[in-house]
Amino acid sequence: MDAGKFLAGAGLRIATIAGQLLVVSIVIFVVLRLIPTDPLAMMIPANATRDEAESIRAAFGFNRPIYEQYLMWLGHALQGDLGNGIQAREPVTRLIKTALPLTLELAFLGLLTGVVLGALLGILTFRARGTRLERVGEAVASLAQSIPEFLWGIAFVLIFGLALSLLPFIGPMNSAYIVPRQTGFLIIDTLLAGRLDAFADHLKHMIMPVAALAMMKIAMVMRVLRSSLVEVYLDEYVNAARLRGVSETAILFRHALRNAAIPTVTLIGVQAAQTFGGTLLIEAIYSLPGLGNLMIVAIRTNDLPLIQGICLTYCAIVLLVNSLVDLSYFWLNPRLRRQ
Amino acid sequence: MSSRGQARILIGGGILAFIVCVAVLAPWLAPHNPNDQDLLQMLAPPAWSPDGDWSHPLGTDNLGRDVLSRLIYGARVAAIVGTIVPIGTCLLGSSIAIVAGYYGGYVDKTLSRIVDIWMSFPAVVLSLVLMVGLSPGLRSVILATVLVDWTRFCRITRGAILGLMKLEYISAARITGASHVSIMLRDLVPGVLPLIITLLCVEIGVAVVVESILSFVGVSVEPHIPTWGVMIADGLASVFQAPWCLVFPMLAVILTVMAANMMGDGLRIRFDARIVDRTRAPA
| B118 vs B147: CA distance, rounded Å | 9
Q: Over chain A, what is the mean pLDDT?
A: 83
- The predicted model gives A120-144 an average pLDDT of 86
Q: How many residues does chain A have?
A: 339
* Assigned fold of A100-290: MetI-like fold (1.10.3720)
The residues on B that touch A, with CB distances below 8 Å, are 116-117, 119-125, 128-135, 205, 209, 213, 216-219, 232, 236, 239-240, 243, 246-247, 250, 253-254, 257-258, 261, 265
Q: Any idea of the CA torsion for B128, B133, B134, B135, to the nearest 10 degrees?
A: 90
DSSP string for B215-264 = HHHT-SS-TTS--HHHHHHHHHHTTTT-THHHHHHHHHHHHHHHHHHHHH
Domain extent listing, chain B = 3-280
Of A20, A35, A273, the CB nearest to B132: A35
A281 with B218: Cβ contact below 8 A: no
| B276 vs B280: CA distance, rounded Å | 6
* Statement: residue A311 has pLDDT above 50: yes
CATH number of B3-280: 1.10.3720.10
Residue-level pLDDT at A41:
65
Of A143, A278, A319, the CB nearest to B120: A319
- The predicted model gives A9-15 an average pLDDT of 80
A142 with B261: Cβ contact below 8 A: yes
- The predicted model gives A158-162 an average pLDDT of 87
Residue-level pLDDT at A335:
67
Residue-level pLDDT at A246:
82
| B158 vs A113: CA distance, rounded Å | 32
Chain A CB contacts of B240 under 8 Å are 162
Residue-level pLDDT at B47:
72
Chain B CB contacts of A301 under 8 Å are none
Residue-level pLDDT at A291:
92
pLDDT in tens, A193-222: 888 888 888 888 899 999 999 999 999 899
Size of interface A-B (CB pairs under 8 A): 109
Chain A CB contacts of B133 under 8 Å are 31-35
Spans of chain B below 50 pLDDT: 1-2, 276-283
Chain A CB contacts of B8 under 8 Å are none
Residue-level pLDDT at A42:
61
pLDDT in tens, A169-197: 888 888 778 788 888 888 888 888 888 88
* Statement: residue A124 has pLDDT above 80: yes
ipTM of the complex: 0.82
CA distance B176 to chain A (A): 39
Q: Which residue has the higher pLDDT, B198 or A328?
A: B198
Q: Note whether B94 and B102 are within 8 A (CB).
A: no
Type of residue found at A259: N
SS3 A287: coil
Residue-level pLDDT at B91:
92
CA distance A196 to chain B (A): 31
Q: How confident is the model at residue A282 (pLDDT cuts 50, 70, 90)?
A: very high
A35 with B125: Cβ contact below 8 A: no
Q: Which pTM does this prediction carry?
A: 0.84
pLDDT in tens, A64-116: 777 888 888 888 888 877 777 777 778 888 889 889 999 999 999 999 999 99
Q: How many residues does chain B have?
A: 283
